[in-house]
Each structure stands twice: as C-alpha cells, then as structure tokens.
Amino acid sequence: MKLVILDRDGVINEDSESYIRSPGEWRPIPGSLAAIAKLTQAGYHVVVATNQSGIGRGLFEMATLNAIHERMHRAVSQAGGRIDAVFYCPHAQEADCECRKPRPGLLKEIAHRFNTSLEDVPAIGDALRDLQAAAAVGARPMLVLTGKGRATRRAGGLPDRTEIHADLASAVASLTGRQ
C-alpha cells in the first residue's frame, strides 16, 4: 500500500500562533490542495496526523475541529484529491500522553488501523516533533519550509535521512515524479 502521512497546520494550511479556531481561519497554503490531488492520482492513501491541543486547552470544541476538518476535506475534494483519514491528538502538552507528537503513538495508531508497517513511509511536517515521530517508527521524515519549517531547519537537530523541500508541492513532486 502506498501511504503518506501529512501534518496539517503549516503543511496543508497556514499555521497560526493562536491556533486555527474556526473553519473560517483554515486557509490552504498555495499549491497544497493540488499536491494532495497529485498524491491521490498517484495511488497514495493520504493520512493527516496532527496535534490539536486547542481542544485540551479549551480553546475550541470537538464540533469546531470536525467543522475545520470538513472544510479541509471539501477543499481537497474540489481540487481532485482525497484525505483518507485524520488522526489527531486533542491533549495539551502537559497531559504527557503517548499520542502527542514527538511521541510516536499517533503514527503507531495509523500503522495499526491501516494494518501496515510505516517503514520508509513518507511523513511530511514542518516541525521537529513531526520529524521525530516519523523517525521513531522508521518512516521517511520530510521537512517542508512552510509554517514553522524554516525555523525548524535553522534550529538543527533534524533526524537522520530528513529530506528538505520548499513546500508540500515540492515534496509531492519528489515522491510522484510529477511537477
């Protein structure tokens, strides 16, 4: 099975220091929707793995997160793509849970639900925690320079084998051979 794991904020959509708190605040990064469509057309199952601590912090409700994800699904579909599943950690960092990236619990759950190994599965993120979670399960860490990506690259300490791409469209082109 061809599988790719994407972080959400800073990879698919614009990030916000004050969190994406409503569907109206969810804005795709230019080229990201077309990139997901290319993955779909190339036969990839696209899965999103995202920390959403705004739930645990009480900044928004589950219904709001579902509405944000519905907007994302609709936008991706209109571009000709598909997101097969969204896995999220609703906990605040203080909860010390296993599913919050950089811990690998969320990715392990993806492997379990899809009944597959994540060995060398592309995992695309903009933050060190995305890359660390990917490396912990043997996935292929890919950093995009959108969102927090430039700061992440400057800070260093990237896992071995981390590939760096300008954005999701560039990362997808490297995976599919399509510009």
Respond yes or no: is residue 160 known to be catalytic. Answer: no
Name the catalytic one among 7, 15, 126, 130: 7
**Domain 3-176 in CATH 1.10.3470.10:** no
Q: State how far the Cα of 69 lies from the Cα of 73, in Å rounded to an integer.
A: 6
Q: What is the pTM of this model?
A: 0.97
Tell whether the torsion through CA atoms of 67, 69, 73 and 79 is positive or negative. positive
Q: State how far the Cα of 20 lies from the Cα of 16, in Å rounded to an integer.
A: 6
Q: State how far the Cα of 12 lies from the Cα of 23, in Å rounded to an integer.
A: 14
Q: Where are the domains of the chain?
A: 3-176
Determine how many CB atoms are found less than 10 A away from the CB of residue 145.
17
Partners of 164 in beta bridges: 143
| pLDDT tens digits for range 33-73 | 999 999 999 999 999 999 999 999 999 999 999 999 999 99
pLDDT for 177 equals 86
Q: Return the percentage of the chain with pLDDT > 70, whole number.
A: 99
Name the catalytic one among 9, 15, 130, 167: 9
Residue 158 CB contacts under 8 Å (≥ 6 apart), including other chains: 128, 131, 141, 143, 152
Amino acid at 88: Y
Q: State how far the Cα of 176 lies from the Cα of 179, in Å rounded to an integer.
A: 8
Respond yes or no: is residue 96 known to be catalytic. Answer: no
| pLDDT tens digits for range 143-174 | 999 999 999 999 999 999 999 999 999 999 99
Backbone phi, psi, residue 136, to 5°? -65, -25
On the CB side of 170, CA atoms within 13 Å amount to: 13
pLDDT for 179 equals 56
Determine how many CB atoms are found less than 10 A away from the CB of residue 86.
19
CA 112 vs. chain centroid, Å, equals 18
Burial grade of 156 (CB within 10 A; 0-12, 13-18, 19 or more):
exposed
